[in-house]
A and B are shown apart, each in its own frame.
Chain A
Amino acid sequence: MFEKILIANRGEIAVRIIRACRELGIGTVAVYSEADRESLHVLLADEAYCVGPAPSAQSYLNIPNIMSTALLAGVDAIHPGYGYLSEQAHFAEICASHGIKFIGPSPESIARMGDKAAAKQTVRAAGVPVIPGSDGPVSDEREALAIAEEIGFPVLIKAAAGGGGMGMRVVYDRQQFASAFQIARSEAQAAFGNPNVYIEKAIERARHVEIQVLADEYGNIIHLGERECSIQRRHQKLVEESPSPAVTPELRQAMGEAAIRAAQAVGYANAGTVEFLLDPDGNFYFLEMNTRIQVEHPVTEMVTGVDLVKQQILIAAGEKLPWKQEDIEWRGHAIEFRINAEDPDRNFMPSPGRITLIHAPGGPGVRFDSGVYSGMMIPPYYDSMFAKLIVHGRDREEAIARARAALHDLVVEGVHTNIEFHLRVLDDEAFRRGQLSTDFIERRKLLSAS
């Protein structure tokens, strides 16, 4: 077992990892930027080292300083958390070449799933359904139209160099296609310096449903069920839940098996998430695979009882998975709410500042994962999310009631938060009925200030 782990991250996930290390009796080394000197993760760790000035590029992404710290502190392993270096294959390689275990999959797995177009080809060959579309960029308009007609309208014309929802255009029929295609190419050129576009089926009223997989380094892979993450603003998830109101046990099994095939196709080890789009007819299509622990991992932990971060550490230390697929059971319903320091009256602009008071909710089935304490500064340089509220109930109704109580119980003073927004979601009729899709926020007009 590892003696010491360096956590190459900050905020609530760094605190989460430190907690798991504490439980396992492993020493913890935190790294921090000058802006995070008084952060909770720095104060909780056994050792802490400053690795750079405030900007992430010079601190949390500063590989030389982080590796130097790891070597000086004599750590056995590095946990990269999510974001930052967690999906940088060359960082995983650098760890390996210095004899430090990277807590995650191999550099090859990261690279193969990191290239989104290549990932699609890889999983398709493994029998995983992918979104119908062109095999790559299409520059000829007639060819593009032929593909569109074969897939069936509506289609999406997507910039190959785009991402995060940028550079996409929906076309509903062949009359619109020609001009839309030309405009999309010019837009792609202007925005990304690359005019290449490809065609994909546009799935309407799709749900974002992802499957958590867990694999040890001996080839054993299981899935831990799904998370529904359809409530998003600008492709940033805000509310996640497990199970998904739209997933039956049969569909869970089918998606779970598909996710395992995707993971097997790249020889995956450790924790990972396979994202799918689920259409209203119950068809699911591979979107991408995230080769790291995710923000919303707690909802899976609450319904399965599996401690995912602890398992990541144990797997990396060479332990076999203690469960077979048939050992995994799902109990009750869990929902997570991301608590962000943002101002709802100013278009959810980040609202950094000092948290003068934070009072965490509690009680049965209430979990609060936070990276802050009363009196701590939330710096302006990083993500606005500073905590997650997760509730668990015996069913979705109880989870919703518990969430409402807990969100009222939660007090944050000193910065603006999106707590009111979450309360509006809970009151929304479509939400209560589980009628979710990735356009939920726009469709239900939940963004208008209260």
Chain B
Amino acid sequence: MNLEQIKQLIDMLSDTDVVEFELETPEFKVKIKQGVPQAVPPAQAAPVLAPAQAAPAPNAAPAPAQAPQADNLVQVTAPMVGTFYRAPAPDAEPYVKVGDIVEVGQPLCIIEAMKLMNEIESETRGRIKEILVENAQPVEYGQPLFIIEKL
């Protein structure tokens, strides 16, 4: 994180009533406290959440994406917790690319859990419109992976 980003972060926070903000990644840790002229009552029933848009946190679960609006778009979500891989092996070609046409039962990706590789198959015949996660990204149950345009 550079000075410019930190300044942006501070500016963003000063528009909110967040009193204390902490962000930690493998690369850095930043903690920002806003001075207040009078005592701020501590958050009561609703816990204070760090603003989700501040900076990408590698382990933050993405908010569940809205189901695609168009009727012919299908979302493929992770059926298990694990690591998402686009190809069967590190040096192999990815299973699918954006624009590819896939058939029912065709493998789209691998989700690896505890050293076991699980091929995730398409349940739709269609065209890959979007790939929503990166190679080697951890995914949780229900996390959107692909958007397929039904054919």
Contacts and interface: CB of A to CB of B under 8 A. Distances in A.
A67 B114 CA distance: 8
A37 interface: yes
Contacts of A43: 47, 49
A49 interface: yes
A44 interface: yes
B106 to A, nearest CB: 24
A50 B142 contact: yes
B126 interface: no
A69 B46 contact: no
B47 A40 contact: yes
Contact of A50 (B47, B113, B140): B140
A34 interface: yes
- Judged by DSSP, the binding face of B is loop
B114 A49 contact: no
A51 B138 CA distance: 12
B19 interface: no
Interface in A67-81: 67-69, 71-73
Contacts of A66: 81
B47 A51 contact: no
A222 interface: no
A64 B45 contact: no
Contact of A65 (B45, B61, B81): B81
B45 A72 contact: no
A374 B46 CA distance: 8
B124 interface: no
B59 interface: yes
Size class of the B contact interface (CB-based, 8 Å): 10 to 19
A245 B3 CA distance: 65
Contacts of B138: 72
B83 A373 contact: no
B81 A49 contact: yes
A72 B82 contact: yes
A44 B46 CA distance: 10
A90 interface: no
A142 B10 CA distance: 84
B47 A71 contact: no
B47 A68 contact: no
Contacts of A358: 45
A104 interface: no
A37 B140 contact: no
B94 to A, nearest CB: 21
A66 B113 CA distance: 10
Q: Name the residue among A47, A59, A358 with the largest chain B CB count within 10 angstroms.
A: A47
A72 B81 contact: yes
Nearest to A47: B59
Interface string A116-146: 0000000000000000000000000000000
A69 B61 CA distance: 12
Interface string B32-64: 000000000000011101000000000111001
Interface string A13-48: 000000000000000000000100100100110011
A98 B115 CA distance: 11
A50 B46 contact: no
Nearest to A98: B114
Contacts of A34: 141-142
A363 to B, nearest CB: 17
Interface string B58-77: 01110010000000000000
B117 to A, nearest CB: 13
Contacts of B114: 64, 67-68, 71, 98
Contacts of A373: 45-47
Top 8 closest A-B pairs, CB basis? Answer: A68-B113, A68-B81, A65-B81, A72-B138, A50-B140, A373-B45, A49-B140, A374-B45
Given A50-B143, A69-B81, 17 more contacts: A34-B141, A37-B64, A48-B61, A49-B81, A50-B141, A50-B142, A51-B81, A52-B141, A53-B142, A59-B141, A64-B80, A65-B141, A68-B114, A69-B140, A72-B82, A72-B138, A375-B45
19 contacts: A40-B47, A43-B47, A47-B59, A49-B141, A50-B61, A50-B142, A53-B142, A64-B80, A64-B113, A65-B141, A67-B114, A72-B82, A72-B83, A72-B138, A73-B59, A98-B114, A373-B45, A373-B46, A373-B47
